[in-house]
Amino acid sequence: MINILLKCVNYLKVHLKVVILIENKKMIHFVSQQCCKSYNNILKRDIVLDSAKSYQQALINKKYNNIRRNIEIHKYIWKTEMASIIDLIDSVYVINSHKMLSLLNWCNNINDCLSADKVNFGRSLWILLHVCNFEISIAHYNALLSLYMKNGYNFSIMELLMDMKSKQIYPNNNTYSICIKYYCMKGNIDKALILFKDMKIVHFYATESIFNSLMLGYSKSGDIENVTKILNHMKKHELQSTTETYAVLMSTYAELNNIVKIKEIIQMCNLRNIHFRNNNILNVIYILAKNNNIQDVQIMYKYLKKKNTISNEEIDVILKLISINHIHIAMTALSCIGLHDRHPQFENVIRLILEHIVNNSVVINDIIKLLTTFKDEMTFKKCFSILIYYSLMKNNDLSLPLLKIFKNYCLIKPHYFWPLLINEAIKHNFQGILDILKIMINDFNVLPCIDTISEYVLPFSFGEISYAKNLLMKYNVNETMFNNAHVLSLLRKKKLSEAATYMQYSKGEYFYKIIAPDLRFYRFRFDINIK
């Protein structure tokens, strides 16, 4: 019985002080009974919690199996799939560490989000691994490193290695390979060579992949001499040169603007039955475009192949081309690899491009150049509306100029301005809200609707209601619209009597079709005294 009492104390987190007197058997019996009741309640609660956990675990397993099946069949998943399973994970009892590792690896296979979002999904999983005390191995660290490296995320390798050491987790061959490639991708060949030397000290072996990475590091500066030395070293030690090896060699010559050598490599590889993927050719195009060697870019288009599926790697290079303001080259390259308005991936690829444009604050003239590449009017309007959506969500400076262009093609509606009003409200800038209303009316000839005023203006106003009314009327919000918006706002706050009083003393036209449902609902609640 004392054990039961201690369990109650521990579970309920309260300090129970029971004085057990041998003489007072009634008191002892009373305490025992109460403890039994408490413990029974705890057992019932545990059963309910276990049942909930079992359901949660079954749901996670179902989602996990669906994701795994999609990876096996399609090689990609959607961000909603990853988000939905992450939302369910809250302990080690609903999913094991091995499955968490798989989810971390699959972040690279999310098809409908940008690199930054893939990293954010991975970081969410990484936080869960630590907060929920999952068992973390070197494989988890390698998966995180690989995610960072493949998506160009800026991070400190040394900090991550120190974090591993603090947990008594030590790097393996794969860890060194990823870290060396990351440094080489960033053009930091010196740090890559330091890791390469450390790797040999601890007797890890150098693979073809590591030598390819070192070649990549030298290629960033067009150091063909050291690239050739590594290539010869690989031949001497009978390490097989792969497609990636020759792709790096092409990239080196691209840095040197040597199109003749690039064509020779492609011809030689074709004879050896080594074929380049589109992302290899696109990377050469990117380097040539970065060096403003547009003439040679035109030559490289013919090496691109039309495909039914456009890979994430290909899209990444296209986005890099857009980032350096070569939108025309990016869209031409997309056309060469088979993207058209009836392609199954068309909308997804265009969405990623448009979101990338908004995130990187591409100038308005370059955006217009992009949109004019869509000859079909319906496609043009659809792409423009997607662009408006992303700009309203993330970039105020871009959204208004785009809306001014968009009004020539489509009807601008009041709800297009709601995100702009919210952004000003977040900054507690009521004057900014008034300025948006002024722009709506004067620049777009769009009168704010009742929902605009009641939901996005009045909640952020200050002072007496009469002051807000007079102020908004100066900004061309008519009295009728204000009265209806204020009444609707009061009804939604369940202030029925205030709404009725305002309607009684502020005579005029009321939009009963709009406010009647709220009016009837709260009147009904008031009459029968429901709480």
What span, in angstroms and rounded, lies between the C-alpha atoms of 218 and 256?
Answer: 12
pLDDT for the residue numbered 183: 96
Confidence of residue 9 (pLDDT cuts 50, 70, 90): very low
In a 3-state reduction of DSSP, which class is residue 21? Answer: coil
Task: Quickly list H helices, 151-277.
Answer: 157-166, 173-185, 189-201, 208-219, 224-236, 243-255, 259-271
The answer to whether residue 139 scores a pLDDT higher than 80 is yes
Side-chain half-sphere CA neighbours of 122 within 13 A = 29
**Percentage of the chain surpassing pLDDT 90?**
60
Q: What is the pLDDT averaged over residues 506-528?
A: 62
pLDDT for the residue numbered 19: 35
Q: Can you tell me which residue has the tokens 């029925």?
A: 496
The answer to whether residue 395 scores a pLDDT higher than 70 is yes
What span, in angstroms and rounded, lies between the C-alpha atoms of 490 and 486?
Answer: 6
pLDDT, greater one: 201 or 17: 201
Q: pTM (2 decimals)?
A: 0.79
What span, in angstroms and rounded, lies between the C-alpha atoms of 63 and 58?
Answer: 9
pLDDT for the residue numbered 263: 97
What span, in angstroms and rounded, lies between the C-alpha atoms of 342 and 339?
Answer: 8
